[in-house]
Structure 1
Amino acid sequence: MEDKRVKDLLKQVQSQCLHKGVGGIKDLAVVFRRMDKDFSKRLCYAEFCEGMMNYGLQVEEKDLNLLFETFDKNNSKQIEFMELVSKLQPPMSEKRVEVVNQAFDALDANKDGVLKMEDLKVVYSKNAKNHPKCISGEWTEEQALRHFLDSIDTPGNPDGKVTREEFVNYYAGVSLTVDDDCYFDLMMRACYGLPNKGT
């Protein structure tokens, strides 16, 4: 019974995060990271509750306590917050990971395993020119590319470079909003100009 309650709670928190956008779960991780003053990657119960409240998540105290106890496997009165975050963001199917990796490879112009502004200028500038804010004259092409890069970079700690892991994590958030594998694949191929399967 408690297992089902925990699953329901995780779905409830996941849903509230997704209402904040596809990066909602990633942003929750940033809130927890800021609470982690001693860089232990662990939070006590008070820090956990404060982080959830600061992020604007509505969870009753008894449910917060249940979540915390579930993740405090060794009764140390601390939880590894990234474990909680990873439970909120379930893994993508193999098909989805494959197409996300193809997109990353297509963007990584100099093949160094990191996406930077130079890569995007080579590969993605046509898409940037078609951004509504570029068309309206509000942004330059460079600003559109920077916005794209920053949206995938680690929130709260952007360094102007996107690793494969950050890229996959970003799309894991997007993946939660798309039910069908085929549609997700089609969307990624259209967005990044990847060839369709079998072509």
Structure 2
Amino acid sequence: MSKIEQNKEKKRLAILKAAKDIFLAEGYVQTSMDRVASEAKMTKQTLYRYFSSKDVLFEATLRQMGSQTDDKLVVHLQQEDTRQALVGFAKDFVAFHLSNEHIATFKLLIAEGSKSPELVSRFMEVGPDDTDRVLMQFFNDRFNIEEPKTKINLWLGMVMSIRDGVLMGMPAPTEQEIEAHVEASTDLLLAALA
């Protein structure tokens, strides 16, 4: 990568970091391109050279945030022991969804969703999410289920129910509470599929 390309990438990343911080703190509607440019320490004209609108910037921000999770999660699914593979995946899945950034993103989408429903739709469509494909393949291979989507969704729903209190401002569960919850949810899935 040439020096010019490195500088362009550095500016693009600075914009995305500033945008993420402001979107999560102030919400989509309240965020202005002026504020993002100021936070990224560049002119508004420079910002518009990289991102032509707030919509484009928001989508790019969501894509970048979404791209930071897949590899770590799916590595667990390569384990031979099915239960260990699912428990390892689920623990990291819950940990990601309990991160301050993810909780703030979820709250942003809830708060802004009634004013701008297209934001939620865009968030759900963002990025190439390989996790769904890998989970589907795992369930196909391990359980010989041709259409495992419903079973995956039910299992993840059980696993993610531990997040509900955090979304309402309660303290996050401890690592031991998460592990016990994930194991119980996974054991229930495995019993149902046996």
The interval holding the TM-score normalised by the smaller chain is 0.3 to 0.5
Q: Which has the higher strand share?
A: 1
Tell me the TM-score normalized by structure 1.
Answer: 0.33
* TM-score of the aligned structures, taking structure 2 as reference length: 0.34
Between structures 1 and 2, the one with greater helix share: 2
